[in-house]
Structure 1
Amino acid sequence: MYGNGWGMGMGMGWMWVVWLLIIIATVAVVALLVRSGGDRARTRGPVDQPPAHAPEEASASGRRSAARRILDERYARGEIDEQDYLERRRRLDEPDG
């Protein structure tokens, strides 16, 4: 009974192989997800931020250039159409007043 005292025979050996493959696949998927998330963050580039000691106008222009960069990216990805892009760009370019 049960392979003459050897437990489940070859079934036990295959069970270890299957579990090992499941663990390796899980680690590989997690590594790929982490790596792709890191690549996406690296391709965005640094956010335009003025130095901490900059005057208020420099800070406003830094925020404006960051907003313009985001607007350009959204238009390039096709998230907004040309008319919406031009209207938002016009509003960003008008002086505060």
Structure 2
Amino acid sequence: MMYGQGFGWGWMWFGGILLLLLILAALIVLIVRASTAGSSGVPGQVPPAPTSSARQIAEERLARGEITPDEFRQIARALDERL
């Protein structure tokens, strides 16, 4: 019996493994890039978390006219008591 001598397939396994590793590396790179992309689409950039305090939200609502100044003062007093 002639193992590895018959049709010249002796080194073909090396090329197949190399191609498989290249495809696997490309998939890993694509997955990492997709998972690190923030909402802006820039890889590695994470959008900042919103940092609105309750008082700031109340001030914005007062500015938009959603609440009256009396309601704002009541909310502010309740927030001050809570602290």
What is the TM-score when the length of structure 2 is the normalising length? 0.50
The unaligned stretches of length 5 or more in structure 1 are 66-91
CA displacement 1:34-60 (0-9 Å, x = unmatched): 221352x32xx231332xxx6xxx264
Q: In the aligned structure 1, how far is the partner of 2:51 from the partner of 2:14? A: 58
Q: Secondary structure at the match of 1:49?
A: coil
Higher helix residue share: 1
Amino acid at match of 1:20: L
| Equivalent residue pairs, number | 59
Q: Does 1:94 align with 2:47?
A: no
* Highest RCO, 1 vs 2 (Cα 8 Å, sep ≥ 6): 1
Let me know the Cα RMSD of the aligned residues. Answer: 3.1
The equivalent of 2:50 in structure 1 is 47
The unaligned stretches of length 5 or more in structure 2 are 39-43, 69-83
Q: In the aligned structure 1, how far is the partner of 2:56 from the partner of 2:11? A: 70
The equivalent of 2:33 in structure 1 is 32
What is the TM-score when the length of structure 1 is the normalising length? 0.44
Q: In the aligned structure 2, how far is the partner of 1:20 from the partner of 1:49? A: 48
Between the aligned residues of both structures, percent identity stands at: 15
- Which protein is bigger by CA-based radius of gyration? 2
